[in-house]
Amino acid sequence: MEIIPAIDIIKGQCVRLEKGDYDRKKIYYEHPLEVAKSFEQAGIKRLHLVDLDGAKAKHVVNLNVLKEITSATDLKVDFGGGIKSIEDLEAVFSSGAYQVTGGSIAAQDPDTFISWIAKFGAARLILGADTLNRKIMVGGWLEATKLDLDAFIAFYLAQGIQYVICTDITKDGMMQGPSFDLYKSILINYPGIKLIASGGVTTIMDLEKLRDMGMHGAIIGKAIYEGTITLDQLSKF
């Protein structure tokens, strides 16, 4: 199972929210590059970089942070937040992103997202399935849709998507463990999916359980910053 630390960006700073609430923000580091370098030094290979300003503004805002990290580290970065146009997408890839996560665009403009899959290949694009009560949320989790989580995933698997990051918003930043039952049901329904857990990972035991379930990856954010999972533990894991 891939270990994927998260860096969420607001105004160029490394922050965490609770349940995606922009009013419940905590700044952890002024310089995301230093954080990324510490991950790399611990043996981490992947990074989940989220432009929270971009998600809210509906266009990429913190491209400079991506450029800094990809030029100064060898981390394979997947980038998400505010990517709505082919121009945004090409700018993100040309800035060094290894993969791009599309959530709102996949929900609101499927034709465009499908065209990206066709142009860049399914290996370069990750479906962002951000869910609240099994409905898809968009726009930095500020807007609800009527899209059912399972139907959303099934539709894009049929379009060739391989990687899916599923975030249970009720768990995000709450340090109460991930949505094991939710992930278990997705893995049963869609064998072969490369499912990445996001939200709620709090302890190494959480990671062990996700790995044993057959998850492809797990994103870890607040647990690292609050010290309930250390980089030393991750390097050993």
Residues annotated catalytic, as ranges: 8, 130
Q: Which residues are 21's β-sheet partners?
A: 18
* SS3 track for the chain: CEEEEEEEEECCEEEEEECCEEEEEEEEECCHHHHHHHHHHCCCCEEEEEEHHHHHHCCCCCHHHHHHHHHHCCCEEEEECCCCCHHHHHHHHHCCCCEEEECHHHHHCHHHHHHHHHHHCHHHEEEEEEEECCEEEECCCCEEEEEEHHHHHHHHHHCCCCEEEEEECCCCCCCCCCCHHHHHHHHHHCCCCEEEEECCCCCHHHHHHHHHHCCCEEEECHHHHHCCCCHHHHHHC
Residue 85: what residue type? S
